[in-house]
Structure 1
């Protein structure tokens, strides 16, 4: 949203009309993995976003909540990267606990760390807030499938952390993994 607003300002400064700017926004393709909206054939609304910091997760959850239909739930699927700032993990748990109606804590890129240890640190944020609106599913594909299966047509499933990435890092190895491909696979079953 902020990038679009900045682009609009530049357009206006350079003499573009408001109508031309509106038309440009309508036909502008989105950026892969940045608030990428996917509507499945089964009628489930998903958003894939690269949000992997506390500020990013908070922003994307707040924006997604604005799009919810009356009676809809915001379901968050996220994890935290390994070999990165450990202090943000519980904070991200608190953010999802407070802003999502339900969360599925999962793996992101654990790298050389044990994914279950990372997940426990995220879970601490839920525990600190005495929230029980979550489950743990270590395997990211299963976590995404679970979220999509539990979602209804008014709900939004936000899958955060990987965005445009098409891999997961485990124990020094990169394996192919794409949140978008997992959504398509679920939709085709």
Structure 2
């Protein structure tokens, strides 16, 4: 019997569940709830069917959850990992893994919704102040945020600094106004808060 157990538990966890984990990670990044559930179900089914080594499985699940915590920009949940280490049955280990992944997914989804809402507020402010020279401090005051935090947030969310974002927003409107041919370049520049036509043209070309 011990020899049989050794044979069963000699299966490498990464080799047995690696494909499912890669699918889960991709689905997590793509925010594909259905594929996340499918990958988790398959991982759980295979882990129990193959009777994977409990200690190796727990260590690997803990490692994988830490990857998702980093992916979600969240601190490691030591309480969860301690609880995971104390699990004694394969089904319990996989249930804990499933619960944590879903918890992280929901928290990440809510954070994404919140960030999108914040960008929508910023776009609304710019639209309402097109003729103004809008600064980062103006937006920070509008959103009741620290300017330094807002600057970091903006770079993270949009890949550009705030000034470039405002210019790009205004240039999209400039394209629409110029195509309509209702206003000349000087008037379009003035409407969008650019006093000098040469500076407006420089930003537009850029």
Instruction: Tell me if TM exceeds 0.5.
Output: no
| Higher strand residue share | 1
Structure with max Cα Rg = 2
TM range (shorter): under 0.3
| Higher helix residue share | 2
